[in-house]
A and B are shown apart, each in its own frame.
Chain A
Amino acid sequence: MAEELIDLAGVTRSVLLPDDQELHILRGITLSICSGDHTAIIGRSGCGKSTLLNLLGLLDLPTAGELTFMGVPARQLSGNARARLRGSSVGFVFQQFNLLPGRSALENVVTPLMYATGRDFWKRRELAMDMLDRVGLSHRAGTHPALLSGGEQQRVAIARALVRRPRLILADEPTGALDVDTGQAVMALLDTVATESGAALVTITHDVNVAALARSCYRLDQGVLSALSVPAAATA
């Protein structure tokens, strides 16, 4: 039976505007993600996708409702404990790749392991090299991001997200900066690697074709999350 990784129950996130008005970005979100899931969340710009990503990645806390990460209520965790849990259990893939400039592909993949402890820290270069090999880029390990193509950069970003073997992979518009063919190849790779490692993959996108690759799909509209059937996602 798949283990529940993250559970959102009636989660609301709001911010106070300068004129003391409260802006509700997310309203009553209820979502459960288990290991091995591939979930897509689609929505237009400004609908709250990034805020939901922050919550799922323990970068933020809900204003109301309960967020449980691997059975532990997020509110009970200190900032540093959330950072440690995020480092060990969550991998991020960003739209703009966000590779660190001035560092080679290998050094970028090593970066998350700098926050690890024990064997993962001391064997960081070998682990990073293995992961680059898995995404087919071991021959480009010493190359700097500026000299890599968009697809290669995203594959390095995927290797970096997965190098600490996270339980949850959060992909924020992972194909947004790629052409259609490269985007499909990257999504296929992400899906394969996530499936092989048993991690849950949550893709936040406004691209219905990307969403259609997921096994479950949700639409976020004006802060409200609703389930979609996957075929419906393709036409949403």
Chain B
Amino acid sequence: MTGVVSALLEAWQELRINKTRILLALVGVALSVAALTSVVGVGNLAREGLTANSERNGGRSATLGVGVYGPTAPDAATLTAAYQAMVARYGIDYYTSVDQAENGFQFPTGVRRVQLQVVDPGYGTIHRLTLEQGGWFTAGDETRLAPAVVVNEAFYNLAGRPNLTTNPGVGILGAGPATAVIIGVVPDDWEQAPPSAFILSAAAAAADIPLSGSGQFKFWVGQEQAEPLKAAIASDLQAQFPGMHIQVDRADYASQGDPFAVVQLAVGGIAGLVLLLGAVGMLNISMVTVRYRVREIGIRRSFGASSHRIFVGVMMESVVATAFAGVLGVMVAVAVVKNPWVEKTIAPGLSTYPPFPVDAALLGLGSAVLVGALAGAVPALVAVRVKVIDAIRF
């Protein structure tokens, strides 16, 4: 116990006495730890942003996108029945049809064409949608006489940002004019995004909104079930729609691999090299310092310091110093990664940002301590070999 405490005290005392020299040596270590930690932190943030964005567009892991295509479009009712049969057969809890449409809406400032996503209530769960106001569709919304819509911020702004508790209406133009009720607001996908809205399939049909016809069906299934289900669904549909092209693909982000892995590895590698250079600088200074401290080491040996204690003492100086630099580096990295501008730039799709990743902080600190141990081991070995009486007379 006293050995550990006194070795730490000794190391701290040495750092205090040689603070200017050591601080200069540690600048490189602190900067490279900051770079390494920031790379991991920013990579994590970017991945979170991409995941959120991808889930919003493609669905959660694992989402299967299913489509039936041919020279002539298959009968919509038959296709929907086939999909429903699939849901029942494979016990799929979350599913949705997805199609596109464009329709005119009457706003206080005039009529605007609006992009519509025609979906089922399961879409919200599959795409992990977060709403800024109101709520997502429920099964009951399918039977509303006034169709419900979930709109984006741009749409909501055009509608005059009404209070959602008052069931605000907005006119749908077309063959069967109706008034839609805004029940929820989602954030814009990007700045200056055009107005868009979600509407349920049943409501779109009731309002006579023409669909693009290139829609598909999405199933959210377990990761390990994805591949077997792909084959089974394709086979079932092919049997029902002979001569048609059946497409069953993973639509989610996880199926594409990690697009940041290579970049993160490359930048991490560069940061690692910088850290290595910092370690070499630290080693160089430690070696010079040990030569300069030969007499002191001899004096300490004469007071009863064992060779083991001298080794640990010299190495601890390096480890304590780099650990200190590591803490500073991690603090800089946290300040960089948690900077609101950086967060918004790296992950514009996120509405709430994840906390700074603990593994990045531990990686930075661990690297710093490792560098300290490596840079301290060589001079510590030199220090142990000092001949006491020669050192005292040095």
Interface positions of A (Cβ within 8 A of B): 50, 53-54, 57, 59-60, 79-80, 83-88, 90, 92, 94, 98, 100-103, 107, 111-112, 114-118, 121-122, 160, 164
Contact = CB atoms under 8 A, between A and B. Distances in A.
B302 A100 contact: no
Task: Give the top 10 A-B pairs by smallest Cβ distance, nearest first.
Answer: A87-B304, A83-B306, A102-B17, A112-B303, A80-B306, A115-B304, A121-B2, A114-B6, A92-B302, A59-B388
B389 A83 contact: no
A50 B3 CA distance: 30
B290 interface: no
A90 B388 CA distance: 15
Interface residue SS majority, chain A: helix
B389 A117 contact: no
B89 interface: no
B167 interface: no
Interface stretch (B120-128, B131-139, B292-300): B292-300
Contacts of A111: 299-300, 303
A94 B307 CA distance: 21
Contact of B303 (A107, A115, A118): A115
Nearest to A88: B304
A84 B6 contact: no
Given A50-B393, A54-B388, A83-B307, A59 B301 contact: yes
B305 interface: yes
B9 interface: yes
Contact of B305 (A57, A90, A115, A118): A115
Nearest to B307: A79
A86 B302 contact: yes
B294 to A, nearest CB: 12
18 contacts: A50-B389, A54-B388, A54-B389, A80-B306, A83-B306, A83-B307, A85-B304, A86-B302, A88-B304, A92-B302, A102-B18, A103-B13, A111-B299, A111-B300, A111-B303, A112-B304, A115-B300, A160-B303
Contacts of B305: 83, 87, 115
A60 B2 CA distance: 27
B309 interface: yes
B392 interface: yes
A157 to B, nearest CB: 10
B10 interface: yes
A59 B389 contact: yes
Nearest to A118: B2
A114 B9 CA distance: 9
Interface residue SS majority, chain B: helix
A171 B325 CA distance: 42
Nearest to A117: B2
Contacts of B17: 102-103
A3 to B, nearest CB: 21
Given A84-B306, A98-B295, 20 more contacts: A59-B301, A60-B389, A80-B306, A83-B301, A83-B305, A84-B304, A88-B304, A90-B304, A92-B303, A103-B13, A107-B13, A111-B303, A114-B9, A115-B6, A115-B300, A115-B304, A116-B2, A117-B2, A117-B3, A122-B2
Contacts of B309: 83, 115
Interface in B1-50: 2-3, 5-6, 9-10, 13, 17-18
A92 B295 CA distance: 14
A112 B302 CA distance: 9
Contacts of B301: 59, 83
A87 B389 contact: no
A54 B387 CA distance: 11
Given A59-B302, A86-B302, A80 B307 contact: yes
Nearest to B302: A92
A86 to B, nearest CB: 5
A57 B302 contact: yes
Nearest to A87: B304
A84 B307 CA distance: 11
Nearest to A120: B2
Nearest to B388: A59
Nearest to A99: B299
B392 A94 contact: yes
Contacts of B13: 103, 107
Nearest to B7: A114
A80 B307 CA distance: 7
A57 B389 CA distance: 10
A94 B304 CA distance: 15
Contacts of A85: 304
A50 B9 CA distance: 32
Contacts of B304: 83-88, 90, 112, 115, 164
A182 to B, nearest CB: 22
Contacts of A102: 17-18
Contacts of A164: 304
Contacts of B388: 54, 59
A103 to B, nearest CB: 7
Contacts of B2: 116-118, 121-122
A90 B301 CA distance: 12
Contact of A80 (B295, B308, B389): B308
A137 to B, nearest CB: 19
Contacts of B306: 79-80, 83-84
B228 to A, nearest CB: 65
A57 to B, nearest CB: 7
Contacts of B302: 57, 59, 86, 90, 92
A100 B393 contact: no
A21 B392 CA distance: 27
